[in-house]
Structures are given as structure tokens and as C-alpha cells.
Structure 1
Amino acid sequence: MGIPEKPWPTGLSEQAEPLVRRVLAPNPSPYTYTGTQTYIVGAESDVAVIDPGPDEAAHLDALMAAIGDAKVAAIMCTHTHRDHSPAAAPLAKLTGAPIIGCAPLILEVDGPRSDESFDTTYAPDRVLEDGEQMTGTGWTLTAIHTPGHTSNHLCFALEESGALFTGDHVMGWSTSVVVPPDGNMGDYMASLDRLYARADDGKDRVYYAAHGAPIEKPRQLVRGMIGHRRQRENQIVRLLAEEPRSIEDLVPAMYKGLDPRLTGAAGMSVKAHLLDLESRGMAQCSGDIWQTI
């Protein structure tokens, strides 16, 4: 999906539903769409801020204006890529709120990066275990562990409305990039299966992702994402059955008409699939050449 034409609602507080507002950060890119969406959950008395975003003065000013006189009960991060968590520390300093959510993670990745790098400043006051909750006046947020995009990724379920804040695990404009060694395709697929089961049980009415529009048919989208990943896996297996290939050979064979700026992202996703196939005894690598077993 292409990036929509401007103007975008950067810096504006938009009401998504009675307990949810969003503020778009000024960090558009081929990997962040129109920018990172920070969500403010709660009413006038106390709120939680989900994915405070990049440490940009204009974005912090917009968040403080949107928060107004409310008490910030928690600053909550889904994961620690640099477009999601760096504003946590300065926002905590401005509001006195604790940083609560995903675990810290610092990882150096060799080779070209196709996604935002990790935030080395992130220091949570409390890490939420799967199923743990944060509560405020009229709102309850439950942590749902969804590793895959990153090993520390969380989603947050708003129990009062059936909204799920999906970070980068499920987005409203593109599939998530899975970058090894921290990103893990097997974990990502298992997390998709978990979200599909929740949607199938009617637990999640709508997804609010960090990038892109609200997802109003979550079950349908997640089913499609699972199918898309399985198709990519089958495509890799088929191509390797024809002849052993490197990742550099696989990418152009798999992604026709790919934007050159996204070649690195495609390569990382292919590598994630190959490592998952290797872990399942279906592929092996010699040097940089992969083949089926």
C-alpha cells in the first residue's frame, strides 16, 4: 500500500473511540508509513500513553497538549524500536509517570538494516508479564505477549471496548518485517495464531496499530496474513527445490517490481523464513547458499 497524499493529521489529537485518542508523530518513512501513532487511553482523570514514539520536541509538545490536565498513570511501550519508545523517558520526566510494558532489549545486527534499530535508552520501571494488567479510571489494559517482530513485543487489550493495540505485530498498511537474529518467524507465526484465536473468540473488535488505519475486521486480516506467510514459505521451498540459491537470488525471484528501498526488508524476511525452515529440518545452508533437505 502506498503512502496517502498529504495532509496527514500529524500532531493532532484524534478521537478514535470514547476511551481512545491518537496522535501521529512527524516521522514518516517507507517503514513507518505516515508516522508512528501514539495512543492515549482513558478519560479526563487518568490516562495511559501507548507507544510514545520518537524523541521529537514537536511530538512531545503534541502529546502534552493532548494529555492536558489528566494524570498519566503509565507510559506503555509495545516494543523498543526507535520509532516507538525513545519518547518514553522525556515524557516520564515531564509527567512523573512510570514506564511500564515490554522488556528492554539492545541488539546489534550485522548487515543492512531494513527496520528501525533498537532504542538503547529504554529503561522500564516495570515489565509486564503475559496477562498482567494496568488499570485506571474506567479502563483496563492487559498485556498480550506477541514475540516475532521483536522478541520483546507486546500487544495491549483494552478490556472495556474490545480494542487491541497491536504495535508493529499487525499493522494497518503492510505486513510486519521480521529481522533476525532477534526477529523470529516461528515466534511471529505462533503469535499470529494466538491473535487469530482471540479474534475467533470475539475478544478483539478492532486493532489499533502503530502505523496505518484501524483494522475493523481483525480475524479476516490475521487469517490473510497467516496465509501470506505460508505462501512465501512455499515459494521459497519451491525455488530451492529447483536449485540451491542465496538470499540475494531469492529476493528478485520472489518480489517482482519491489521498491529498491525495500530490498533489505525483503531480504531480512526471506532470511527469517529460511532460518525457520532450517529449525524445522526443511532447509540447510552452506556458506551463503541455501537448499532444501
Structure 2
Amino acid sequence: MDYVTLETDEFVYGVGDEILPGVSRVIAENPSKFTYRGTGTYIIGGGQDVAVIDPGPILPSHREALAGALTGRTVRAILVTHCHADHSPLAAWLRDETGAPTYAYGPHGAATVEWDIGALPDDFGRPEPTDVADDEPTGPDEPKLEESTDTAFVPDVEVRSGDVVFTDTAISVAALHTPGHTSNHSCFAMTSSAGGRILFTGDHVMGWSTTVVAPPDGDMGAYMNSLRMVAGRRDDVAVPTHGSPIERPGRFVGDLVDHRLERERQVLDAVRRGLDTIPDIVEDLYVDVRVELHRPAGSSVLGHLVKLVSDGIVVVDGSSAADSASDASPASVPRLDSNYLPV
């Protein structure tokens, strides 16, 4: 994968910068191993009327920066890709300030699980306190996981793929449901009268890293299908909430699909080699990844295992999944008790 980085000398926190025609970005000062340089809030529109994508976290400095960037403009729509706590919480304030409605696929999904699942061992993936600062960004190959979910968020308007959520004299923006990272994740596709096509990808596609797909709400099968759909589009650029714009997104997302398939093959191979707990698989596959990221890596491994079970390639000992497996001799892992982390 050729990852797309965002260097610290390429932006200033608290400042609204135009990064593309009709697109300005304000980056929240919440950098961490989960959010990279911080949450990017986008203001789109060529004139006075604008839409705001992913208002961001409850952070006074970001709220003030966003208010400053919107001075003299009228917010007509607030678009939320999904409701992780670094994306949606400030939407309530912005709606109250502007009167603009919020648009999203829906609230966070009420997911269910097939198996009894508990928690990873308490000491798994817990670094020594002096190992790494909590706010230290991580490298591109290290998995990421949001720290919390904004379960209070409920959009004013629920949208589905193709629904137009904002227009002005120069642009039109439509929703594109892309489940996987979360069940309610949507991208937003902007088309300009000049012919440009920009896809705001939230956390579905991030140039600086891969995305964690964490059951029970995350769904690896849905995520792979959504990636393939995006790879087949003809967007000129993809703009993630975290990081820099991605040129030639079709090729980039195609590479992401290949990367995910390779990880799936690695997980299956680990099971076939006799690694029968998620911690064992993580320690084998993520040997070069810092220990404090082994817990979110465990969530990704679980996501792949759930997909492999659904595909009939892996069975879970003692579950009804074994009865429905299409392969006469599928690989096997024990029940997931004590090998899953809540998200």
C-alpha cells in the first residue's frame, strides 16, 4: 500500500484552509494514535450557503475555530458520516447555532452477535505506562480504533444512497451508504458544475492507514462490498476525515481491497496452523506492531473471523455455525469466549 500522509507542516490547527475548490478544512486539535493528526471538519460550498461534514468532537478550541471559519456563511446542512465520538458530537451545537438539520444514515446500529463473547484478557495489549504517550500518532500499518461512540446522535434526516443532501449554484452532494466500519457509515459524493467529483469518505477510506472493522456493529463482509463499490466509482479525489486527500482513489481503494484479502488469508492460515485464540493470532500477525495496538488489532482479527465463519470457511467449536458450514472440512477455532473485546 502507498499510504498518503499528512505532515504537521502542511496545516495549522484552528484555521480554515481551502484544500480544494469549494472545500475548506478545519482540523481539530485531537491528534492521537486513533485520530492521526486530528479530526478534519469540511466546509463545502462555493458561495454563502454551505454544508458542514463531520463537525467533530466536543472540544472548545475546535468549536471556536469552526465558528470562525463559518463567519459570514450560512450553514444549510450538517452531514455526519457516522457517530464515533470524534465525528458527530459537535453536530448538536452546530444545529442549535445555525438551525441547519443533520443528515446521516441513522444512529449507531443496535448490533447483535451470534456467539457468547467476553473480553480479552486484561493485560493483553496493555503497554507499560512509560512505553508510549497516549497522544502519539502511529504508523500507517498499525490498526486504529475509535475510543468511544456518540450513542446520543440521532439525525434529523435519515438518508439512503442517492439522496441529495445539499445543493447550491455550483455543486450537488448526495449520500452513499458504505456500511462496514459501522453499520450507519455513509460517504458523501460531491459533483461540481465544472465536472469535478469528490468523495468524502469519513473513516471508510483513510489514506494514512487501514480502518478497523470491529464487531458487533462493524461487518467485514459489508465493508469489503462497500470498498469494492467505491473502487468502481469514477471520483477524481477522495477526502477522508483523517488525513490528506487521496488522488486516483479508484486505484487506491482497489489496493485496499487486495490488502484486506491478504489479511484474511493470513488469519485463515494462522487458524490452520493451530493458532486458536485471537490473542495468539494477533501476536503472530502483528509482531511488528506496538503492543498498545494489539487490542484494536484483535478487533480486526475478530472481524475477519466472523466473515470467514459467515463464508463457511471457519467454524466456531460448539456453535450452530459448524452445522451450516458449506466446506466439509472447514478450519476451526474455539468459541470466542475470553477472546473478544467490547467496542
TM-score normalised over the length of structure 1: 0.92
1:101-140 equivalent positions in 2, closer than 5 A: 101-105=104-108, 111=119, 114-137=145-168, 138-140=170-172
Q: Name the structure 1 match of 2:228.
A: 193
Q: CA deviation at 1:4?
A: 4.4
Q: Name the structure 2 match of 1:292.
A: 331
Asked if the contact 1:13/1:23 (under 8 Å) is kept, the reply is: yes
- Work out the number of aligned pairs and report it: 288
Q: 1:146 and 2:144 equivalent? A: no
Q: Name the structure 1 match of 2:203.
A: 168
Structure 2 residues not aligned, in runs of 5+: 113-117, 121-143, 323-329, 333-343
Larger Rg: 1 or 2?
Answer: 2
Q: CA deviation at 1:114?
A: 3.7
Q: 1:157 aligns with which of 185, 189, 195?
A: 189
* Cα separation, 1, equivalents of 2:14 and 2:105: 25
The residue type paired with residue 268 of structure 1 is S
Structure 1 residues not aligned, in runs of 5+: none
Asked if the contact 2:84/2:148 (under 8 Å) is kept, the reply is: yes
Worse-matched range after superposition: 38-47 or 72-81: 38-47
Q: Name the structure 2 match of 1:82.
A: 85
Asked if the contact 1:44/1:69 (under 8 Å) is kept, the reply is: no
1:221-232 equivalent positions in 2, closer than 5 A: 221-232=252-263
* Cα separation, 2, equivalents of 1:180 and 1:36: 23
CA RMSD of aligned residues (A): 2.3
The residue type paired with residue 162 of structure 2 is G
User: 3-state DSSP class of the match of 2:26?
Assistant: strand
**Structure 1's 3 and 214: CA in aligned 2 closer, same or farther, altered over 3 A?**
closer
Q: CA deviation at 1:245?
A: 1.3
**Structure 1's 9 and 108: CA in aligned 2 closer, same or farther, altered over 3 A?**
farther
The residue type paired with residue 292 of structure 1 is A
Q: Name the structure 1 match of 2:295.
A: 264
Asked if the contact 1:115/1:265 (under 8 Å) is kept, the reply is: no
User: 3-state DSSP class of the match of 2:244?
Assistant: coil
Q: CA deviation at 1:189?
A: 0.1
Q: 1:41 aligns with which of 32, 35, 44?
A: 44
Q: 1:178 and 2:213 equivalent? A: yes
Worse-matched range after superposition: 84-93 or 242-251: 242-251
Q: 1:23 and 2:30 equivalent? A: no
**Structure 1's 261 and 5: CA in aligned 2 closer, same or farther, altered over 3 A?**
farther
Q: CA deviation at 1:287?
A: 7.3
* Cα separation, 1, equivalents of 2:318 and 2:285: 21
Q: CA deviation at 1:256?
A: 2.1
User: 3-state DSSP class of the match of 2:246?
Assistant: coil
Q: CA deviation at 1:244?
A: 4.5
The residue type paired with residue 316 of structure 2 is C
Q: Which has the higher contact order (CA 8 A, sep 6+)?
A: 2
Q: CA deviation at 1:237?
A: 1.4
* Cα separation, 2, equivalents of 1:100 and 1:93: 14
User: 3-state DSSP class of the match of 2:232?
Assistant: helix
Question: Quick one: percent identity of the two aligned structures?
Answer: 42
The residue type paired with residue 217 of structure 2 is D
